[in-house]
């Protein structure tokens, strides 16, 4: 009896390695882990108790005394770090509160550092939360940004945060030359070990609305398109990444994440430095709002958005989903 050979298929049967959860897990190319997630935290010097942020469901402005509580939550969830933003007791035209050693961010950093929670402590460096006008730099008489006069103020704020215990300072202002100024200030101030995470490609995005509510930092006039990137430009972002790397940045960031996955991928291909992406407040709020209307499943959509950011090339992700995503990922691993 002659056996007839089975006809050999001429097409690839990709379904063979997708047909069961175990096989899909085995060959998964991109994997999320809580340790690659960073939680933004808002520290408000005017508060005695946490205050909900209406546009960021589940998030609070925290009093300085509460910073340790939320940091403990982050550590217990296995997160990689926290990113601190400060709201001062009072603002002025010079944003002088940004470099106040008794300001909300330095006080919170000292409290968290004393707990030895194993988190990377990152301090945002910008003037927008501290200036009465809401812009990220000092102003000239005509209302334009005075780029060069802003640099020493940013450098001093970074030095203060480093002295308070920040592992990383993260300039988000988009002033030209700020990475070099901060690096010189840190090195000259005895903080040569403090790393710089540069918001290198930060776009003038429509997705920042809830953050400006949370940080009380909306510009009082005009907008930030004169110093943040034009949302239509990709090659310009690569120039900014190159410049900040040359000035001494230890890590680079693309912000926002979701609308700029192509920029994340291009940055990953261009640089060997660790790459962060910031899934911003509007991205978070949009998914939350859609889930509240029953249009998407929040858990599935949030994790899909995060895996897309990681697949594009981000080594770590700053996201308001950090605590929730860590819990979801822990459940999936059981």
**Residues annotated as part of the active site:** 202, 255
Rounded distance between C-alpha atoms, residue 92 and residue 329, angstroms? 43
- Which pair of structure tokens corresponds to residue 296? 């998407």
CB 270 within 8 A of CB 241: yes
Buried residues in 80-89 as b, exposed as e (16+ CB within 10 A): bbbbbbbbbe
- DSSP category for residue 131: B
Show contacts of 235-239: CB within 8 Å, 24+ apart: 237/200, 237/201, 237/203, 237/263, 237/266, 237/267, 238/201, 238/266, 238/267, 238/270
- Which pair of structure tokens corresponds to residue 303? 């994790």
CB 211 within 8 A of CB 281: yes
168-171 and 60-62 beta bridge pairing: unpaired
Q: What is the phi/psi pair of residue 41, to 5°?
A: -130, 135
- Which pair of structure tokens corresponds to residue 59? 């998030």
């Amino acid at each position: 009896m002659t056996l007839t050979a089975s006809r050999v298929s001429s097409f690839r049967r990709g379904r063979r390695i997708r047909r069961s959860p175990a096989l899909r897990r085995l060959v998964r190319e991109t994997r999320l882990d809580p340790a690659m997630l960073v939680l933004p935290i808002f520290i408000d010097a005017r508060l005695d108790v946490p205050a909900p942020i209406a546009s960021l469901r589940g998030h609070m402005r925290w009093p300085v005394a509460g910073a340790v509580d939320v940091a403990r939550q982050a550590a217990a969830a296995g997160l990689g770090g926290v990113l601190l933003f400060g709201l001062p007791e009072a603002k002025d035209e010079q944003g002088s509160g940004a470099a106040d050693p008794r300001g909300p961010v330095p006080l919170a950093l000292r409290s968290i550092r004393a707990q030895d929670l194993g988190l990377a402590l990152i301090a945002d460096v910008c003037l927008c939360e501290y200036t009465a006008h809401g812009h990220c730099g000092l102003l000239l008489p005509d209302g334009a940004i005075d780029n060069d006069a802003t640099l020493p103020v940013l450098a001093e704020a970074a030095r203060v945060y480093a002295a308070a215990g920040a592992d990383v300072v993260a300039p988000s202002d988009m002033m030209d030359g700020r990475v070099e100024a901060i690096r010189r200030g840190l090195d000259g101030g005895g903080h040569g070990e403090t790393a710089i995470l540069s918001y290198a490609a930060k776009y003038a995005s429509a997705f920042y609305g809830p953050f400006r509510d949370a940080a009380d930092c909306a510009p009082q006039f005009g907008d930030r398109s004169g110093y943040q990137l034009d949302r239509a430009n990709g090659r310009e972002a690569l120039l900014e990444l190159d410049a900040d790397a040359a000035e001494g940045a230890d890590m680079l960031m693309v912000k926002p994440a979701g609308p700029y996955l192509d920029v994340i991928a291009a940055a990953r291909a261009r640089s060997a430095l660790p790459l962060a992406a910031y899934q911003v407040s509007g991205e978070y709020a949009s998914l939350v709002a859609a889930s509240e209307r029953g249009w998407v499943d929040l858990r599935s959509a949030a994790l899909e958005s995060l895996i897309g950011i990681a697949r594009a090339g981000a080594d770590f992700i700053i996201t308001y989903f950090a605590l929730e995503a860590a819990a979801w990922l822990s459940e999936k691993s059981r």
